[in-house]
Amino acid sequence: MVVHAALAVLLSRLSGTDDIAVGTPIAGRGESALDDLVGMFVNTLVLRADVRADSSFTDLLAAVRESDLQAFAHADVPFERLVEVLDPPRSTARHPLFQVGFSFQNVTPTSIELPGLSIAPVELEHRTSQFDLHWIVQDEYDETGAAAGMSGFVTYASALFDEAGVTVFADRFVRLLEALVANPAAAVGDLQIIADTERRRIIHDFNDSDHKAAPATLVSLFDAQVAATPDALALDAPARG
């Protein structure tokens, strides 16, 4: 929920909107009777957050927690049924209810010991993104089982984003998390999410428009062009009926 709230802040700051919805998978095994049953029960939940720029992260987290708990309480409602009832405008170019996915992997690592056989997990390289952006975060543990932070990665639709742009998003997310931890009572709209070098480039470098130009007026420049190319076409406009 903390990571979800932080991601909602980031998406709000990047998009300029306060109504943020992300999709997240849920195991669908709420009943203990399903623990030993083989099968696919995963469902998709839509987690919605109302991000107000003047709200503190502490207050936002409390609201996100309540909203997430309500979503988890209805985890048995099939996602397809939700889409059917809401009946949003359909498009083959985007997901019907959200465009950003969020997966938090908090499953305890497992191991298998067999006589004379060594087994180790192999990480597969992701080359397909399920959503326009998909944020995948997981807990890390050391050899003793103690918590050792979190890691994550982002998949993205290459038709919409490139690696450099998504890297900027990820850097801003890390920077935002650091700021939230340092001062959770600060207004989320005031937290700095861009690096000092980027801020300097936006404020100063992009506005460095000083350019030496010869003293002239628009009329004198027009006269000079007419004198230089008197037979050139001056204006070409389509005729209107």
Burial 138-153 (b: 16+ CB within 10 A, else e): eeeeeeeeeeeeeebe
Query: Rounded to whole angstroms, how far apart are CA atoms 214 and 218?
Result: 12
pLDDT of residue 125: 73
pLDDT tens, residue by residue, 92-150:
888 889 999 999 987 666 677 788 887 877 777 767 888 999 999 988 888 787 888 88
pLDDT of residue 109: 62
The band of 54, judged by pLDDT with boundaries at 50, 70 and 90, is: very high
Instruction: Say which residue, 208 or 163, is predicted with more confidence.
Output: 163
pLDDT of residue 36: 75
Average pLDDT over residues 50-74: 94
CA atoms within 13 A on the CB side of 17: 7
Q: Is the Cβ–Cβ distance between 137 and 1 less than 8 Å?
A: no
**Residue ranges covered by each domain of the chain:** 2-30+37-108+125-205
Q: 2-30+37-108+125-205: what CATH class?
A: alpha beta
Residues 157, 159, 162, 167: what is their CA dihedral angle, to the nearest 10 degrees?
A: -20
pLDDT tens, residue by residue, 170-200:
999 999 999 999 999 999 999 989 888 888 8
pTM over 0.95: no
30 pLDDT higher than 90: no
